[in-house]
């Protein structure tokens, strides 16, 4: 592995009035063992300050000599032009930095719900997380979403309450919201020194000392606890010790023993509690004012796990149903998960890998067990946002980028061909909104297809297809912002001048009763003919169950080799329903009978028969339309509550909960996706621009019959571009 020297700027530390000049050491990649690695993600609601905190971390670890600004568009992690212009994170960016001799592989994730796939695949491969909260807003809707995602992958976390210098900031209120909304046990290890505009630093409850941060970002001072805080510190330290004793048996013995408890004992217990998900350390600070970042870095090292502290990764036996465990060790067989694909105009196709076991060198041959194909690694890179450095070897616990992998996609497993393993893939939410694209010239139509193919490789939640009936290219995504970014990238990255149609809701179709349906495909045109004949039982299934196919063929009524063809025909027909051409979902199809011909039967014939049987049967099953429903949160000043509720009611929203937070009201509920178009504008108009809202996909529900008729009539009218009906 090549050695990269990272030499940070010197840091001035003042302790008890005496000034010490200290310089952090430079570290080389080759000298760091796996227990000194921290793979962490920065996750939060949009505008909580993730990227700003990350910029500070990079500065204080010596990666940067100057702190970038989101407002000025000078941050390292928001490197795309679109991110810098909009002031939001769109794609997860990875970088590596060093603190106290430890290597930190950091991934800064987006906070907007439209880019939740970036959070999902990042958390799938990370060992720990820093969750950022806005000290004024507290726990927001997307905070809950990313917390649930972290729970899903059992990610140990530490919390950082940011923006403590803002008017209305409250650590106690935020901590209370974390406990109540996120259902976790908080281990508060810091108190703020000063509040709002008087916020000057933090008081460490473990070390019992105060840290102040001056305007000079490279300087921090350590001092005794101010007298006015002594009582508060004693109270909260006792609460911390009690909570640790409740969560950790080893610490309970020391606590009940009544002896002197050292800070090192507290830190060891807190590390165990954090890694085992029995509690969450909470710190505070201000990313914008560069306050509290160094203690946060210390907390990452002290409390978050290394790759060997988490349970070994488990997968399935290749072509088997036996579970396999791979320990995080260079001596184990190689196993890695591809979790992100990007296409760079100069570097080509870049595959992000999390190496769980073993080690691999540049040029080695690996086996893609997901697609059953051999691949050869080109160069191996360590990413620094949109920059990279080449490495010769990747070891267990690493997060690296590989070049040269042509047939590897997000969620694929790469492993040693002699000892293959199949790791659990990454699940992504389905697209819920679509728009039509059309090239302005025929020459550009082919280029659009190629560009969309590259974008769909990068983003698993982005789908596209060509509608032959309307002559349109349809793209689908998670939300309006998601599709806006996709179309803007087509214009900027691929120089394509595309026209965009109206947003379309991704409706689905299902059935409401059972039926028995026959499918018969018989064709004779000289020589051998085609013969396929099936009987299907079609019935409704549970929501979100998709298409279930079951065969009850016995006694050779239909040869076993034709059954997969029948299933393929059923799934072909399910792509377009009978009502409005939307995909069929949540149906159970059972092959119960049929017949075949010794000479004329073929897979094609039975595929056609299965397709015919489903199409004809669905028409008799009282089909219904399903519409996507979004979960929403609206935060508005109390004076506008009536107008906001009235606007939501007019959009068929269901109000589930109302919360009071100071002078603000928080409205929770659900709303059909079709009713969210244009809501931002009307909400701003009704509240003088003072209300904010966020939405995320929740579930599909049956559309009322009258509204279903309207949707069907709209679909059958005309295309916004071609003038042809669907």
Is the Cβ–Cβ distance between 486 and 453 less than 8 Å?
A: no
Helix, strand and coil in the chain, % to nearest 5? 30, 35, 35
Helices 249-257 and 230-247, axial angle in degrees (round to 10): 130
**Nearest-angstrom CA–CA distance, 187 and 270:** 8
- Cα angle 586, 592, 597 (rounded to 5 degrees) comes to 125
pLDDT tens-digit readout, 31-53: 678 999 999 999 988 888 888 89
pLDDT of residue 352: 92
Would you tell me how many other CB atoms lie within 10 Å of the CB of residue 496?
21
Measured distance CA(38)–CA(301) in Å, rounded: 7
Note the helical H segments in 160-229: 171-182
Instruction: Read off the pLDDT of residues 399-409 as tens digits, 9 standing for 90 and up.
Output: 999 999 999 99
DSSP 229: G
Query: Which is higher by pLDDT, 313 or 696?
Result: 313
* CB-based contact 240:203 (threshold 8 Å): no
319 Cα distance to chain centroid: 29
Q: Look at residue 365 in the predicted model and tell me its pLDDT.
A: 94
Tokens found for residue 553: 């063929």
Place of tokens 């299934």: 541
- Token pair 């339309």 is at which residue? 625
pLDDT of residue 704: 82
For the record, the structure tokens of 581 come out as 């051409």
585 phi and psi, to 5 degrees?
-140, 170
pLDDT at 495: 87
- Other CB atoms within 10 A of residue 343 CB: 15
Q: Which residue has the higher pLDDT, 468 or 141?
A: 141
Is pLDDT larger for residue 2 or for residue 323?
323
86-90, 165-169, 283-287: least confidently modelled range: 86-90
The pairing of strands 365-368 and 413-415 is antiparallel
Residue 30 has pLDDT above 70, yes or no: no
Q: Which residues have CB under 8 Å from 110's CB, separation 6+?
A: 46, 88, 89, 90, 91, 92, 116, 118, 119
Across 541-691, where does the E strand assignment appear? 547-551, 587-595, 624-637, 654-661, 664-672
Give the dihedral sign, CA 316/121/384/484. positive
Three-state SS for 155? Answer: coil
Alpha-carbon span 567 to 594, nearest angstrom: 14
DSSP string, 510-576: E-SS-EEEEEEEEE--SSS-EEEEEEEEEEE--TT--EEEEE---TTSS-GGGHHHHHHHHHHHHTS
Contact 613, 565 (CB under 8 A): no
**Domain annotation for the chain: domains and CATH numbers:** 11-23+30-303 (3.40.50.300), 313-423 (2.40.30.10), 433-507 (3.30.70.870), 512-622 (3.30.230.10), 626-702 (3.30.70.240)
Q: Which CB contacts under 8 angstroms, 24+ apart, belong to 143-146?
A: 143/44, 143/45, 143/48, 143/181, 143/182, 144/181, 144/182, 145/113, 145/116, 145/696, 146/43, 146/44, 146/45, 146/109, 146/111, 146/119
556 pLDDT more than 80: no
The string of DSSP codes covering 241-290 is: HHHHHHH-HHHHHHHHHTSPPPHHHHHHHHHHHHHTTS-EEEEE-BTTTT
Burial of 224 per CB tally in 10 Å (0-12, 13-18, 19+): exposed
Task: Work out the percent of the chain whose per-residue pLDDT is above 70.
Answer: 88
In sequence order, the 6+-apart residues with CB closer than 8 A to the CB of 470 are: 436, 719, 721, 722, 724, 725, 726
List, in sequence order, every residue forming a beta bridge with 368; answer none if it has no partner.
Answer: 373, 414
State residue 25's pLDDT score. Answer: 30
Which of residues 693 and 418 earns the better pLDDT score? Answer: 418
Interstrand relation of 209-213 and 365-368 (parallel, antiparallel or unpaired): unpaired
Mean pLDDT of the chain: 84
The mean pLDDT value for 487-495 works out to 87
Residue percentage of the chain with pLDDT more than 90:
47
Residue 629 to residues 432, 652, 695, Cα–Cα distance (Å): 9, 10, 10
Q: Is 660 helix (H, G, I), strand (E, B) or coil?
A: strand
Q: Is the pLDDT of residue 315 over 90?
A: yes
Q: What is the pLDDT of residue 273?
A: 97
> Is residue 53 within 8 Å of residue 132, measured between CB atoms?
yes
List the structure tokens of 57. Answer: 């971390």
């Amino acid at each position: 592995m090549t050695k990269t020297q990272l030499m940070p700027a010197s840091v001035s530390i003042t302790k008890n009035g005496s000034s010490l000049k200290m310089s952090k050491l430079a570290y080389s990649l080759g000298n760091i063992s796996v227990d000194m690695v921290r793979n962490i993600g920065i996750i939060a609601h949009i505008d909580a300050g993730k990227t700003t905190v990350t910029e500070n971390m990079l500065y204080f670890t010596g990666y940067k000599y100057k702190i970038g600004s989101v407002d000025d568009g000078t941050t390292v992690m928001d490197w795309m032009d679109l991110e810098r212009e909009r002031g939001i994170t769109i794609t997860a960016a990875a970088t590596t930095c060093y603190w106290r001799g430890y290597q930190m592989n950091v991934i800064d994730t987006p906070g907007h719900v439209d880019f939740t796939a970036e959070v999902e695949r990042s958390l799938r491969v990370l060992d720990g997380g820093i969750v950022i909260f806005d000290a004024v807003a507290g726990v927001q809707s997307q905070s809950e979403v990313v917390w649930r995602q972290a729970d899903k992958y059992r990610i140990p976390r530490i919390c950082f309450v940011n923006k403590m210098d803002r008017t209305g900031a409250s650590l106690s209120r935020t901590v209370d919201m974390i406990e109540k909304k996120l259902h976790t046990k908080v281990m508060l290890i810091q108190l703020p020194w000063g509040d709002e505009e008087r916020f000057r630093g933090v008081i460490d409850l473990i070390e019992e000392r105060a840290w102040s941060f001056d305007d000079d970002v490279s300087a921090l001072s350590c001092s005794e606890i101010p007298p006015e805080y002594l009582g508060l510190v004693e109270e909260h330290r006792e609460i911390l010790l009690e909570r640790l004793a409740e969560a950790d048996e080893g610490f309970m013995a020391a606590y009940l023993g009544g002896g002197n408890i050292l800070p090192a004992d507290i830190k060891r217990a807190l590390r165990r509690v954090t890694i085992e998900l029995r509690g969450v350390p909470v710190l505070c600070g201000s990313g914008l004012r560069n306050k509290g970042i160094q203690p946060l870095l210390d907390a990452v090292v002290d409390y978050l796990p290394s790759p060997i502290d988490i349970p070994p990764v488990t997968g399935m036996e290749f072509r088997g149903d036996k579970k396999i465990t791979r320990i995080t060790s260079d001596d184990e067989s190689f196993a890695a998960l591809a979790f992100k694909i990007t296409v760079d105009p100069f570097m080509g196709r870049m595959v992000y890998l999390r190496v769980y076991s073993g080690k691999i060198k540049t040029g080695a041959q690996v086996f893609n067990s997901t697609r059953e194909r051999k691949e050869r690694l080109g160069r191996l890179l360590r990413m620094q946002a949109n920059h990279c450095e080449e490495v010769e070897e990747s070891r267990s616990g690493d997060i690296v980028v590989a070049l040269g992998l042509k047939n590897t996609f997000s969620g694929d497993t790469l492993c040693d061909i002699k000892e293959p393993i199949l790791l659990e893939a990454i699940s992504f939410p389905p697209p819920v909104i679509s728009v039509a694209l059309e090239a302005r010239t025929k020459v550009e139509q082919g280029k659009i297809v190629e560009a969309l193919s590259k974008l769909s490789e990068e983003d698993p939640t982005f789908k596209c297809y060509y509608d032959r009936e309307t002559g349109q290219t349809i793209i689908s995504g998670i939300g309006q912002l998601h599709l806006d970014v996709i179309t803007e990238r087509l214009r900027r990255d691929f120089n394509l001048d595309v026209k965009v149609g109206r947003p379309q809701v991704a409706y689905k179709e299902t059935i409401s009763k059972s039926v028995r349906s026959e499918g018969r495909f018989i064709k004779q045109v000289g020589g051998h003919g085609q013969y396929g004949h099936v009987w299907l039982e079609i019935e409704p299934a549970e929501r979100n169950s998709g298409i279930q196919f079951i065969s009850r063929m016995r006694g050779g009524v239909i040869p076993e080799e034709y059954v997969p063809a029948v299933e393929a025909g059923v799934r072909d027909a399910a792509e377009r329903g009978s009502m409005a051409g939307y995909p069929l979902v949540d149906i159970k199809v059972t092959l119960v009978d049929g017949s075949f011909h010794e000479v004329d039967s073929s897979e094609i014939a039975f595929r056609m028969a299965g397709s015919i049987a489903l199409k004809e049967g669905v028409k008799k099953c009282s089909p219904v339309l399903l519409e996507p429903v979004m979960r929403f949160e609206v935060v508005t000043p109390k004076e506008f509550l009536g107008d906001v509720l009235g606007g939501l009611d007019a959009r068929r929203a269901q109000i589930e909960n109302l919360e009071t937070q100071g002078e603000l009201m928080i409205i929770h509920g659900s709303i059909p996706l079709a009713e969210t178009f244009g809501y931002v504008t009307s909400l701003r108009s009704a509240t003088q621009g003072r209300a904010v809202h966020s939405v995320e996909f929740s579930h599909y529900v049956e559309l009322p019959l009258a509204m279903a008729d309207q949707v069907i009539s709209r679909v059958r009218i005309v295309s916004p571009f071609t003038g042809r009906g669907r």
